[in-house]
Chains A and B, each alone.
Chain A
Amino acid sequence: MARSLTRNESDAPLSSVETVLRDFLMQDVLYDKQIPLLGPRDSLLESELLDSIAIMQIVAFCEQAFEITIPEEELLPQNFENIEAIGQLVERQLAEKAAER
């Protein structure tokens, strides 16, 4: 299956967390959807590219890849609206984990 992974020059620079998230989304979740490379603020929810099973996949990936736990009260649409929002959710959990140490 052809994957469109060419870099979009107009993209804002991505943080390292955002880059990991984008690669995961493009390669493991949305690879069958024939969409151009996602920018950090491209809507993931309104376009209905993600169903509930895909969102659970993203949560599982984040917990594993960043070694964090995403609490249930954070399972809100605004935290999954785009790559930037998911990135911020991950950063918050990383900060909390660091504070606990």
Chain B
Amino acid sequence: MIHCLPQILTETAERHASHPALVLNGHSITYGELESESNRFARSLLHHGVTRGDRVALWLPKSIQAVVAIYGIMKAGAAYVPIDLAAPAARMAYITRDCKVAGLVTVKDRANALDATFPGERPIKSIWFVDGSSPSGPASHGTGIGWETVAAEPNHSIECRAREDDLAYILYTSGSTGTPKGVMLSHRNALSFVNWAVQTFAISNEDRLANHAPFHFDLSVFDLYAGALAGATVFPVPTHMAAFPAAIARQWSAQRLTVWYTTPSTLVLMITRGGLASLDLSALRLLLFAGEVFPVKYLRTLMQLAPQTRFANLYGPTETNVCTWYEVSSIPADDTPVPIGRPCSNCDVFILDEKLKPVADGEIGELWVSGSTVMQGYWGRPERTGQTLKDVEVRPGLTVRAYNTGDLVRKRNDGNLEFVGRRDHQIKTRGYRVELGEIESVLHNHPAVDEAVVLGIPDETIGHRLAAVIVPKQNMRVGKAAIQQHCAAALPRYMVPAVIEFRSELPRTSSGKVDRQTLAGLFCADSQLSAPEEVWQEV
């Protein structure tokens, strides 16, 4: 009986040892090889003192070695913490300190950055370099371990140290108070979703899955583990390829991929710039999308281009994995948005009002989720965890532990849920969830900024684009580029506002609060006037 994620690999390696598990940049690895390579890496971790319950960070490009490392970390009983390579080194430093990683897996060309980020200190005990021997460097690198040392470890099977309620991974998402927060998911959480997905979409070892999402984005959980459970072949797309929709589209068509799971932003780019109309998409049997609202007109185009394909909208914040889904069989002529559907069979959902009482059918309320996919909490933040994960009496006499998504939803007459919006300042951009407060807090750290407000301006292709309105301190001058650089030194690029506007004061409501609606209205009215640079940044 499988109770933790790496056992999926071990079982599949027994059944399909010579079947390709991953194909990337012309290289491939079979399930048998992935199993034995990850056994070696698990042993190397154990030899260097990593034990059950530890955290090990991944700071390396998407690669076969990255997947070997992921399985090895989990086999050693630790949780993996994937970090966005394109984000500033300061964010990596924050995350590795926040969850006190016991080790870090990286590549040689990041050694300088590690040294510059941790001058004169050794916050990370052991650092593995997957692309050869360990560079000889300053002590701040910790103990450097080259891949040749890993290759010398025995590769026979190793007992998986993890148990079902141990953490499998921690994914950091934007936090409203200025720093990212780590969502803790256990093996049971992930397995519950993976089992549901393989069953619901009948994933088999004949399937060829695209893996578009980076490993720090939870869509990758489906690609890696549903793929492995079914013994399918996974085709990871290197992260930088996201800028080249035509190249991705051609590759996916040539690889005859059968399953694509990605964000609507990516799909819109592929529809508008990928030249899909001239490609053979006949192999594609299943297209899953998640992370944001899919503009109906583009979804309709895609459904016409791939008439044989099954389409489904999967919904769920990182904290719940996927909790509701909707199979799109046709699109109504009136462009009604695609609903988020009904709960998955392993989840229960409740629509509650502010007093945590169920709303009447058809009324708007906040969506709460309970079930085996719901996270364990936020790393090191019991208070924040307690604000969103609560015991709620959902029916008289029935109290369940449930997570408040903060998403406002309404149950339609046909029983499907529809997403209405949010009350707080969380938005989606390019499929990523962003707390506007986190960006505002970074802006407030700039010495010349007196007040700052960040707004999400609705955008058809990327969900929202970010605009900042800044009131500089008296007698201080600051420009757009300086503000953007300041943000980029602390935030991932998708969180850097594309539009920066300076004002001498902010509009206020009668109660004295910043009037965000008035500000947002100004940007919407201005949107046709964007400079060419901003238009590019939107795509």
Binding site for B on A (CB under 8 A): 1-2, 28, 31-36, 44-57, 59-60, 63-64, 72-73, 75-77, 80
Among B86, B90, B494, the one with the most A-chain Cβ atoms within 10 Å of its Cβ is B86
Docked complex: B466-507 residues within 8 A CB-CB of A = 481, 485, 488-489, 493-494, 496
B109: interface (CB < 8 Å): yes
Pick from A31, A32, A53: contact of B537, CB below 8 A: A53
Whether A76 touches B493, Cβ cut-off 8 Å, given contacts A46-B61, A48-B86, is no
Pick from A32, A44, A46, A49: contact of B90, CB below 8 A: A32
> Complex Cα distance A73/B246, Å?
8
B89: interface (CB < 8 Å): yes
Q: Which of B74-82, B136-144, B234-242, B518-526 faces chain A?
A: B234-242
Contact A55 B86 (CB under 8 A): no
- Chain A min CB distance to B482 (Å): 11
User: Closest B-chain residue to A44, C-beta based?
Assistant: B240
> Complex Cα distance A70/B489, Å?
28
* Residues of chain B with a CB closer than 8 A to A48's CB: 61-62, 85-86, 238-240
Whether A77 touches B488, Cβ cut-off 8 Å, given contacts A33-B113, A56-B537, is no
Contact A77 B240 (CB under 8 A): yes
What would 24 A/B residue contacts be, using CB atoms closer than 8 Å? A2-B116, A32-B485, A33-B113, A35-B113, A45-B238, A46-B61, A46-B238, A47-B109, A50-B240, A53-B243, A53-B493, A53-B494, A53-B496, A54-B86, A56-B536, A56-B539, A57-B537, A60-B532, A63-B532, A72-B246, A75-B245, A75-B273, A77-B247, A80-B243
- Chain B min CB distance to A97 (Å): 17
> Complex Cα distance A50/B84, Å?
11
Question: Could you mark each residue 56-83 of chain B with 1 if its beta carbon is under 8 Å from any beta carbon of chain A, else 0?
Answer: 0000011000000000000000000000
Given contacts A33-B88, A55-B243, A64-B533, 6 further A-B contacts (CB under 8 A): A31-B485, A31-B489, A33-B113, A47-B85, A53-B243, A75-B246
* Residues of chain A with a CB closer than 8 A to B201's CB: none
Among B62, B245, B494, B536, the one with the most A-chain Cβ atoms within 10 Å of its Cβ is B536
Whether A51 touches B493, Cβ cut-off 8 Å, given contacts A33-B113, A34-B113, is yes
Question: Could you mark each residue 106-121 of chain B with 1 if its beta carbon is under 8 Å from any beta carbon of chain A, else 0?
Answer: 0101001100110000
Contact B239 A32 (CB under 8 A): no
Question: Could you mark each residue 228-256 of chain B with 1 if its beta carbon is under 8 Å from any beta carbon of chain A, else 0?
Answer: 00000000001111111111000000000
Contact B240 A51 (CB under 8 A): yes
* Residues of chain A with a CB closer than 8 A to B488's CB: 31-32
* Residues of chain A with a CB closer than 8 A to B273's CB: 72, 75
Q: Is the interface of A mostly helix, strand, loop or mixed?
A: loop
Question: Could you mark each residue 316-336 of chain B with 1 if its beta carbon is under 8 Å from any beta carbon of chain A, else 0?
Answer: 000000000000000000000
Contact B532 A52 (CB under 8 A): no
> Complex Cα distance A60/B537, Å?
8
Contact A51 B239 (CB under 8 A): yes
Whether A60 touches B246, Cβ cut-off 8 Å, given contacts A45-B238, A46-B61, A47-B109, is no
**Closest A-B pairs by Cβ, 5 of them:** A52-B243, A55-B243, A51-B86, A52-B242, A34-B113
* Residues of chain B with a CB closer than 8 A to A33's CB: 88-89, 113
Interface contacts (Cβ under 8 Å), in number, total: 100
Contact B536 A59 (CB under 8 A): yes
Among A2, A28, A33, A47, the one with the most B-chain Cβ atoms within 10 Å of its Cβ is A33
> Complex Cα distance A46/B239, Å?
9
> Complex Cα distance A68/B243, Å?
19
Contact A56 B243 (CB under 8 A): yes
Contact B246 A76 (CB under 8 A): yes
- Chain A min CB distance to B214 (Å): 9
- Chain B min CB distance to A30 (Å): 10
Pick from B112, B481, B537: contact of A35, CB below 8 A: B112
- Chain B min CB distance to A54 (Å): 6
> Complex Cα distance A51/B491, Å?
13
Question: Could you mark each residue 6-42 of chain B with 1 if its beta carbon is under 8 Å from any beta carbon of chain A, else 0?
Answer: 0000000000000000000000000000000000000
Among B117, B243, B533, B539, the one with the most A-chain Cβ atoms within 10 Å of its Cβ is B243
Contact A75 B85 (CB under 8 A): no
Contact A49 B85 (CB under 8 A): yes
Contact A34 B116 (CB under 8 A): yes
> Complex Cα distance A44/B493, Å?
16
> Complex Cα distance A28/B482, Å?
10
> Complex Cα distance A82/B263, Å?
28
Contact A60 B536 (CB under 8 A): yes
> Complex Cα distance A17/B532, Å?
22
Among B112, B244, B532, the one with the most A-chain Cβ atoms within 10 Å of its Cβ is B244
Contact A64 B532 (CB under 8 A): yes
> Complex Cα distance A1/B113, Å?
13
User: Closest B-chain residue to A61, C-beta based?
Assistant: B533
> Complex Cα distance A53/B84, Å?
13
> Complex Cα distance A83/B496, Å?
24
Contact A34 B493 (CB under 8 A): no
> Complex Cα distance A93/B284, Å?
36
Whether A54 touches B85, Cβ cut-off 8 Å, given contacts A45-B240, A76-B247, is no
> Complex Cα distance A50/B539, Å?
15
Whether A57 touches B88, Cβ cut-off 8 Å, given contacts A1-B489, A33-B113, A48-B238, is no
Whether A60 touches B533, Cβ cut-off 8 Å, given contacts A1-B489, A54-B86, A54-B493, is yes
> Complex Cα distance A75/B241, Å?
10
